[in-house]
Protein backbone atom coordinates (compact mmCIF):
# COMPACT_ATOMS: atom_id res chain seq x y z
CA UNK A 1 0.00 0.00 0.00
CA UNK A 2 2.75 2.43 0.97
CA UNK A 3 4.66 1.72 -2.27
CA UNK A 4 1.59 2.54 -4.36
CA UNK A 5 1.18 5.92 -2.60
CA UNK A 6 4.83 6.78 -3.28
CA UNK A 7 4.48 5.61 -6.87
CA UNK A 8 1.37 7.76 -7.34
CA UNK A 9 3.05 10.90 -5.99
CA UNK A 10 6.23 10.22 -7.95
CA UNK A 11 4.20 9.91 -11.17
CA UNK A 12 2.21 13.07 -10.38
CA UNK A 13 5.45 14.97 -9.71
CA UNK A 14 7.04 13.66 -12.92
CA UNK A 15 3.88 14.57 -14.84
CA UNK A 16 3.79 18.12 -13.48
CA UNK A 17 7.50 18.56 -14.21
CA UNK A 18 6.89 17.29 -17.75
CA UNK A 19 4.04 19.77 -18.25
CA UNK A 20 6.36 22.54 -17.05
CA UNK A 21 9.09 21.48 -19.48
CA UNK A 22 6.50 21.22 -22.25
CA UNK A 23 5.40 24.79 -21.56
CA UNK A 24 9.03 25.93 -21.66
CA UNK A 25 9.35 24.09 -24.96
CA UNK A 26 6.71 26.37 -26.45
CA UNK A 27 9.05 29.31 -25.90
CA UNK A 28 12.47 27.63 -26.16
CA UNK A 29 12.80 26.05 -29.59
CA UNK A 30 15.53 23.62 -28.56
CA UNK A 31 13.22 22.06 -25.94
CA UNK A 32 10.49 19.85 -27.46
CA UNK A 33 6.89 20.33 -26.35
CA UNK A 34 5.00 17.25 -27.57
CA UNK A 35 7.25 14.55 -26.02
CA UNK A 36 7.01 16.19 -22.60
CA UNK A 37 3.23 16.48 -22.86
CA UNK A 38 2.99 12.83 -23.94
CA UNK A 39 5.14 11.85 -20.95
CA UNK A 40 2.92 13.91 -18.65
CA UNK A 41 -0.18 12.18 -20.04
CA UNK A 42 1.41 8.77 -19.49
CA UNK A 43 2.30 9.70 -15.89
CA UNK A 44 -1.12 11.16 -15.13
CA UNK A 45 -3.07 8.26 -16.61
CA UNK A 46 -1.30 5.98 -14.14
CA UNK A 47 -1.68 8.27 -11.14
CA UNK A 48 -4.48 10.86 -11.35
CA UNK A 49 -7.74 10.74 -13.29
CA UNK A 50 -8.32 14.43 -12.70
CA UNK A 51 -4.91 15.57 -13.93
CA UNK A 52 -5.16 13.30 -16.98
CA UNK A 53 -8.58 14.71 -17.89
CA UNK A 54 -7.33 18.26 -17.31
CA UNK A 55 -4.33 17.73 -19.59
CA UNK A 56 -6.12 15.88 -22.38
CA UNK A 57 -8.96 18.43 -22.45
CA UNK A 58 -6.75 21.50 -21.99
CA UNK A 59 -7.31 24.22 -24.59
CA UNK A 60 -3.63 24.37 -25.62
CA UNK A 61 -2.05 21.11 -24.49
CA UNK A 62 -4.86 18.69 -25.36
CA UNK A 63 -4.61 19.01 -29.15
CA UNK A 64 -0.84 18.29 -29.10
CA UNK A 65 -1.47 15.02 -27.30
CA UNK A 66 -4.61 13.98 -29.16
CA UNK A 67 -3.19 14.71 -32.62
CA UNK A 68 0.03 12.89 -31.91
CA UNK A 69 -1.72 9.96 -30.19
CA UNK A 70 -4.37 9.53 -32.89
CA UNK A 71 -2.49 10.47 -36.06
CA UNK A 72 1.24 10.62 -35.20
CA UNK A 73 1.06 14.09 -36.80
CA UNK A 74 1.29 17.80 -35.97
CA UNK A 75 -0.50 20.71 -37.58
CA UNK A 76 1.10 22.80 -40.30
CA UNK A 77 0.63 25.83 -38.07
CA UNK A 78 2.60 24.12 -35.27
CA UNK A 79 5.39 23.23 -37.69
CA UNK A 80 5.62 26.77 -39.08
CA UNK A 81 5.42 28.40 -35.65
CA UNK A 82 8.07 26.08 -34.25
CA UNK A 83 10.44 26.70 -37.14
CA UNK A 84 9.99 30.47 -36.98
CA UNK A 85 10.66 30.52 -33.24
CA UNK A 86 13.55 28.07 -33.61
CA UNK A 87 15.36 29.98 -36.32
CA UNK A 88 14.56 33.40 -34.83
CA UNK A 89 15.95 32.46 -31.43
CA UNK A 90 18.95 30.57 -32.79
CA UNK A 91 19.82 33.34 -35.25
CA UNK A 92 19.57 36.05 -32.60
CA UNK A 93 21.69 34.04 -30.17
CA UNK A 94 24.27 32.95 -32.75
CA UNK A 95 24.79 36.32 -34.39
CA UNK A 96 23.65 38.83 -31.78
CA UNK A 97 24.99 37.32 -28.58
CA UNK A 98 27.82 34.88 -29.29
CA UNK A 99 31.31 35.74 -30.50
CA UNK A 100 32.55 32.18 -30.89
CA UNK A 101 32.29 30.71 -34.38
CA UNK A 102 32.41 27.24 -32.84
CA UNK A 103 29.34 27.91 -30.69
CA UNK A 104 27.56 29.55 -33.61
CA UNK A 105 28.22 26.49 -35.73
CA UNK A 106 27.02 24.20 -32.95
CA UNK A 107 23.77 26.15 -32.55
CA UNK A 108 23.15 26.14 -36.29
CA UNK A 109 23.75 22.37 -36.45
CA UNK A 110 21.28 21.82 -33.61
CA UNK A 111 18.73 24.04 -35.38
CA UNK A 112 19.26 22.09 -38.60
CA UNK A 113 18.73 18.78 -36.77
CA UNK A 114 15.56 20.02 -35.08
CA UNK A 115 14.30 21.38 -38.42
CA UNK A 116 14.85 18.03 -40.12
CA UNK A 117 13.01 16.26 -37.31
CA UNK A 118 10.05 18.66 -37.40
CA UNK A 119 9.76 18.43 -41.18
CA UNK A 120 9.90 14.63 -40.98
CA UNK A 121 6.74 14.52 -38.85
CA UNK A 122 3.47 13.97 -40.69
CA UNK A 123 1.35 17.07 -41.18
CA UNK A 124 -2.16 16.80 -39.78
CA UNK A 125 -4.73 17.29 -42.52
CA UNK A 126 -8.46 17.90 -42.55
CA UNK A 127 -8.88 14.54 -44.30
CA UNK A 128 -7.21 12.74 -41.39
CA UNK A 129 -9.60 14.36 -38.93
CA UNK A 130 -12.68 13.67 -41.08
CA UNK A 131 -11.62 10.07 -41.65
CA UNK A 132 -11.14 9.62 -37.92
CA UNK A 133 -14.57 11.09 -37.20
CA UNK A 134 -16.22 8.75 -39.71
CA UNK A 135 -14.52 5.76 -38.10
CA UNK A 136 -15.39 7.04 -34.63
CA UNK A 137 -11.77 6.86 -33.47
CA UNK A 138 -11.84 10.10 -31.51
CA UNK A 139 -14.52 8.70 -29.22
CA UNK A 140 -12.65 5.55 -28.26
CA UNK A 141 -11.36 5.03 -24.76
CA UNK A 142 -7.58 5.31 -24.40
CA UNK A 143 -5.60 2.07 -24.64
CA UNK A 144 -3.83 2.77 -21.33
CA UNK A 145 -5.11 1.35 -18.08
CA UNK A 146 -5.43 3.14 -14.78
CA UNK A 147 -3.75 2.46 -11.44
CA UNK A 148 -5.93 -0.56 -10.62
CA UNK A 149 -5.52 -1.96 -14.19
CA UNK A 150 -9.19 -3.04 -14.32
CA UNK A 151 -10.73 -0.08 -16.09
CA UNK A 152 -9.67 2.59 -18.57
CA UNK A 153 -9.09 6.02 -17.13
CA UNK A 154 -11.20 8.98 -18.06
CA UNK A 155 -13.75 9.71 -20.72
CA UNK A 156 -12.80 10.06 -24.36
CA UNK A 157 -11.03 13.32 -25.10
CA UNK A 158 -13.40 16.21 -25.72
CA UNK A 159 -13.31 17.48 -29.31
CA UNK A 160 -14.14 21.09 -30.05
Contact by Cβ (8 Å): 132, 71: yes
- At residue 159, does pLDDT exceed 50? no
Distance of CA 157 to the CA centre of its chain: 15
Region for 98 from its dihedrals, namely left if φ exceeds 0, alpha if ψ lies in -120 to 50, beta otherwise: beta
The share of the chain scoring above pLDDT 70, in percent, equals 83
* Residue 97 DSSP class: I
Render pLDDT for 47-74 as a digit per residue (tens, 0 to 9): 999 999 999 999 988 887 888 888 888 8
Domain ranges of the chain: 1-74+125-147, 76-123
Name the CA radius of gyration of the chain, rounded. Answer: 18
CA pair distance 37, 74, nearest whole angstrom: 13
When pLDDT is averaged across residues 125-144 and rounded to a whole number, the result is 68
Amino acid sequence: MRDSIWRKWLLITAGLLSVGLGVLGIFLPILPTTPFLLLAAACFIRSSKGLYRWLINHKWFGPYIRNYREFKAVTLRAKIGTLILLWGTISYTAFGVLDSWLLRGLLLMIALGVTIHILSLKTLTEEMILSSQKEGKQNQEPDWKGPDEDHPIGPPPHRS
